[in-house]
């Protein structure tokens, strides 16, 4: 019975938890898609709606901003510890008179060209008086997602295969 509990229940459980806890946040941050739509009213008030999707569309958040005045790229340095140097990380923000909302989910030191493209495209929409609507999609696929994907796959395979292992052990 001790061998059954240890080898069939506890070891697989902790292995699956490890792989999923490592894979899920990396895939969440590294693979995201942002769909942005914007309109300008007759008074040139800019309204922007954007939908951020993760896990290939399974997790979705939508934001609505009215009165967007600019899009900025904010940079900051990560905390320095004794074992690693400071790193500059950045994120794209949509700015209104009362708030600032991040376009992508996390600050990172990757995808600088995608961030610049998103910022330039949105600022072009804001400054062009002839452009009344905006519709664009930006897909972020960076090193964080690619590093976390194998862990997520192994964790999911273990999770789905675990019941079979338990039934097999119970039969023998």
Question: Could you give the C-alpha distances from 160 to 7, 139, 163, 167, in angstroms and in order?
Answer: 17, 29, 7, 13
| Mean of per-residue pLDDT scores for the chain | 87
Sheet with 31-40, side-by-side order of all strands: 59-66, 46-54, 31-40, 133-141
| 32 contacts 52 by C-beta, under 8 angstroms | yes
Structure confidence at residue 86 (pLDDT): 64
Residue 131 has pLDDT above 90, yes or no: yes
DSSP 69-94: -EEEEEEEEPPP-SSS---EEEEEEE
Residue 1 has pLDDT above 90, yes or no: no
Question: pLDDT tens across 40-92, in order?
Answer: 998 989 999 999 999 888 899 999 999 999 988 887 776 666 666 666 667 88
pTM for the structure as a whole: 0.78
Structure confidence at residue 81 (pLDDT): 61
Q: Find where tokens 């690619």 sit.
A: 146
Closest to 135 (Cα-Cα) out of 125, 145, 149: 125
Structure confidence at residue 64 (pLDDT): 94
Question: pLDDT tens across 142-159, in order?
Answer: 888 999 999 999 999 999
Structure confidence at residue 114 (pLDDT): 86
């Amino acid at each position: 019975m001790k061998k059954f509990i240890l080898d069939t229940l506890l070891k697989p459980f902790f292995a699956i938890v490890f792989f999923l806890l490592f894979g899920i946040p990396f895939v969440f941050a590294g693979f995201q898609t942002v769909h942005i739509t914007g309109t300008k009213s007759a008074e040139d008030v800019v309204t922007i709606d954007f939908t951020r999707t993760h896990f290939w569309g399974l997790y979705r958040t939508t934001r609505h901003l009215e009165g967007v005045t600019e899009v900025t790229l904010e940079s900051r340095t990560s905390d320095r510890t004794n074992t690693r140097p400071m790193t500059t990380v950045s994120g794209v923000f949509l700015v209104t008179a009362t708030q600032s909302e991040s376009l992508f989910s996390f600050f990172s030191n990757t995808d600088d060209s995608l961030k610049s493209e998103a910022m330039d495209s949105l600022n072009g929409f804001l400054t062009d008086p002839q452009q009344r609507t905006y519709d664009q999609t930006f897909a972020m696929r960076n090193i964080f997602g690619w590093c976390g994907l194998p862990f997520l796959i192994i964790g999911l395979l273990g999770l789905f295969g675990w019941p079979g292992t338990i039934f097999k052990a119970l039969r023998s």
